[in-house]
């Protein structure tokens, strides 16, 4: 099989490529990534010399490039996106461009090249927010995105689904909850809090810290994506979640406790505008039809993740200083 993975230099995409090459060592993987602020080739330094792995620096919005690369590809897995809610609040321009137009370019190229499977990686945020007692999101939940980020992801999901109905394109979609694990950019809650504490800084909790997220280890997510690609039914959507609902304050306290800090390190700051109260995923469809479920216990996954940041200060210190972008600038411009 020949896979085109987009956004493979980011957090989930790089962990996916590592996972796929481990589980499917004979497959060929092309990683197409624009290396925005979130893309980091150091995430893949352990696979970069493999003969069946090729990195191409490029934009998923570049029609000519994408059409060229797609020739001979069997499967496209689309991770490429602008992914941070707070950035989308500051400016939605790149979000619409990459998440919507980029997905459209990929879909048209996939159609022209008769791709066997187009898997689109999406988020639970497209469904909006839940109240504390609402039932969890599932595949039939109505779309109600409330941030520019989630609106752009919702638009991309709709486009992908429309190509199935209109052109019979062999698509699948996954909507996953909040990921954590190694190589996550330290703007997201868990790596930001852990690296701040390692640097002697406080952890900034938005509002009163009562918003709830459903945490899933990135390896569980990627195992789910692999199952969908291999066994998921064409045209179907699958919700993937971790079954780990915690308030942000609870997560902050777990991190502080593991790292032996006191709650004095918490700084409550101004809330995120339009801050979604709660996300939670009912993954029973994936469990029943794909025999998939999360395996990594949150306490264990969180402590291993904290240890990973603790033992890889070079990786995140370069990011926080901005130096990481020099790694590829000489090579790729």
Active site residues: 124-125, 149
11 lines the binding site for ligand NAD (CB under 6 A): yes
Q: Residue 103: which of ligand NAD, ligand TDX, none does it interact with, CB under 5 to 8 A by kind? A: none
Interacting partner of 98 out of ligand TDX, ligand NAD, none (Cβ under 5 to 8 A depending on kind): ligand NAD
For residue 25, count other CB atoms closer than 10 A to its CB.
9
Given candidates 95, 118, 163, 185, which one binds ligand NAD under the rule CB under 6 A? 185
Cβ atoms 14, 43 nearer than 8 A: yes
Cβ 80 to ligand NAD shortest distance, Å = 4
We find the least distance from the C-beta atom of residue 251 to ligand TDX, in angstroms, to be 8
Q: Which does 105 bind (CB under 5 to 8 A by kind): ligand TDX, ligand NAD, none?
A: none
Task: Write the DSSP assignment of 172-197 as a string of letters.
Answer: EEEEE-EEESTT--TTSHHHHHHHHH
**Interface with ligand TDX (CB under 6 A), residue from 83, 98, 103, 237:** 83
Pair type for strands 203-206 and 266-269: parallel
Among 41, 60, 189, 286, the residue binding ligand TDX under the rule CB under 6 A is 189
6 is an interface residue for ligand NAD by CB under 6 A:
yes
Give the x/- contact pattern for ligand NAD in 111-140, rule: CB under 6 A. Answer: ----------xxx-----------------
Rounded to whole angstroms, how far apart are CA atoms 189 and 106? 30
Identify whether the C-beta of residue 115 lies closer than 8 Å to the C-beta of residue 107.
no
């Amino acid at each position: 099989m020949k896979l085109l993975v987009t956004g493979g230099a980011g957090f989930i995409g790089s962990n996916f490529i590592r996972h796929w090459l481990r589980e499917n060592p004979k497959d060929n993987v092309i990683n197409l990534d624009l290396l925005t602020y979130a893309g980091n080739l150091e995430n893949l330094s352990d696979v970069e010399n493999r003969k069946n792995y090729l990195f191409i620096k490029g934009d998923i919005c570049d029609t000519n490039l994408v059409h060229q690369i797609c020739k001979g590809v069997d499967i496209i897995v689309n991770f490429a996106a602008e992914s941070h809610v707070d950035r989308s609040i500051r400016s939605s321009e790149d979000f619409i461009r990459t998440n919507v137009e980029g997905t459209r370019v990929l879909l048209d190229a996939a159609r022209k090249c008769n791709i066997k499977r187009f898997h689109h990686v999406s988020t639970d945020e497209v469904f909006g927010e839940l109240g504390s007692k609402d039932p969890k999101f599932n595949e039939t939940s109505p779309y109600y995105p409330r941030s520019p980020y989630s609106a752009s992801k919702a638009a991309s999901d709709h486009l992908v689904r429309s190509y199935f109905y209109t052109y019979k394109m062999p698509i699948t979609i996954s909507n996953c909850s909040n990921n954590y694990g190694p190589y996550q950019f330290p703007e997201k809650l868990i790596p930001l809090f852990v690296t701040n504490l390692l640097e002697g800084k406080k952890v900034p909790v938005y509002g009163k810290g009562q918003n709830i997220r459903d945490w899933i280890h990135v390896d569980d997510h990627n195992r789910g994506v692999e199952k969908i690609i291999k066994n998921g039914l064409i045209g179907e959507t699958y919700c993937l979640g971790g079954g780990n609902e915690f308030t942000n304050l609870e997560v902050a306290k777990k991190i502080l406790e593991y790292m032996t800090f006191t709650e004095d390190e918490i700084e409550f700051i101004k809330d995120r505008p339009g801050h979604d109260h709660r996300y939670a995923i009912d993954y029973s469809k994936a469990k029943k039809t794909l025999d998939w479920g999360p395996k990594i216990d949150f306490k264990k996954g969180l402590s291993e993740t904290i240890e990973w940041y603790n033992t890889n200060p070079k990786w995140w210190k370069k990011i926080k200083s901005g130096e990481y972008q020099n790694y590829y600038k000489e090579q790729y411009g």
